Amino acid sequence: MSQDYKDYFIKDGRHIGDYEGMYRNCPDPWNIEALGLRLDMLAALLLLDFLKGPIAKVLDLGCGAGLFSLEVIRKLSKDNKDIWFLLSDISPTALRQAEKRLRTSDLGERGRKEALGKAGAPPLGEAPPDLASLYAPEADFLPLDLRTLPKDNPFSGKGFDLVVLAQALWGILEDLEAILTEVRKSLSPKGALLISQHFPGDAQEYGRDIVRDPEGLKGFLRKAGFKESHSVECDRDFNHHYGGLWRSS
């Protein structure tokens, strides 16, 4: 099997979309591990400072292996321990990687210590608690193909305070407006959508006839009923990145 993620993602102007195969066979899809916490991620994280009101429920759609997800969790749970995160991705392998990342992070280690402290020593003869399954903050992981949302949206009416959609555009492009409409239905009345997205420009053939740049994406978001609250852009000359915080209009 190929270790080039493009063989599973977008190749020769076509969307392949074999994300499970990609995460199984490619050590580092999109070179995300090698690049680490990039400028575009840091810029998107800044937008979380503009969230208003208590944040109790967060939905991360298309979380992948969870590098950006962990940073969102770290930032939002810093001063708020009563917060629940639901991470979702089409690839079960990616979800397992994301869960491992959280459990083995500083947040996971802190959670295990807190859980052990609360549980105390088990009674004589009883097994100790499964600390591998106890970590803070509270997070669950759900396999889901975003392209199914227009037909079956399990999040509709669930009142999430924040939905994260990071680097997911090219995988949902063919039904973008309908999917974004369902994402809006998943938000609480004062909830927000955090978008983080790269635009390779002429380097990518696929999808340019639908969305070429951030302005094209914004048009779809407005059609789906969103209103832009705050935004940030960087690397306009190379691998253009857009980060935006959107609310239901």
**What are the Cα distances from residue 27, in Å, to 22, 35, 42, 133, 173?**
9, 13, 24, 25, 26
The residue range of the domain holding 80 is 36-119+129-248
Query: Does 31 fall in a domain?
Result: no
Query: Does 3 fall in a domain?
Result: no
Query: Does 17 fall in a domain?
Result: no
Query: Does 168 fall in a domain?
Result: yes
Nearest Cα residue to 32 out of 164, 139, 167? 167
The tokens describing 147, both together, are 């392209």
3-state helix, strand, coil in the chain (%, to 5): 40, 25, 35
Query: Based on the structure, what is the number of domains in the chain?
Result: 1
Per-residue pLDDT in tens (0 to 9) along the chain, 249 residues? 899 999 999 999 999 999 999 999 999 998 888 877 787 888 899 999 999 888 999 999 999 999 999 999 999 998 887 899 999 999 999 999 999 999 888 887 665 555 455 545 445 455 444 444 445 578 999 999 999 999 999 999 999 999 999 999 999 999 999 999 999 999 999 999 999 999 988 888 899 999 999 999 999 999 999 999 999 998 777 778 999 999 986
Query: Does 14 fall in a domain?
Result: no
Phi-psi region of 241 (alpha: psi -120 to 50; beta: other; left: phi over 0): beta
Query: Does 13 fall in a domain?
Result: no
Query: Does 229 fall in a domain?
Result: yes
Query: Does 30 fall in a domain?
Result: no
Q: What is the CATH number of the domain that holds 205?
A: 3.40.50.150
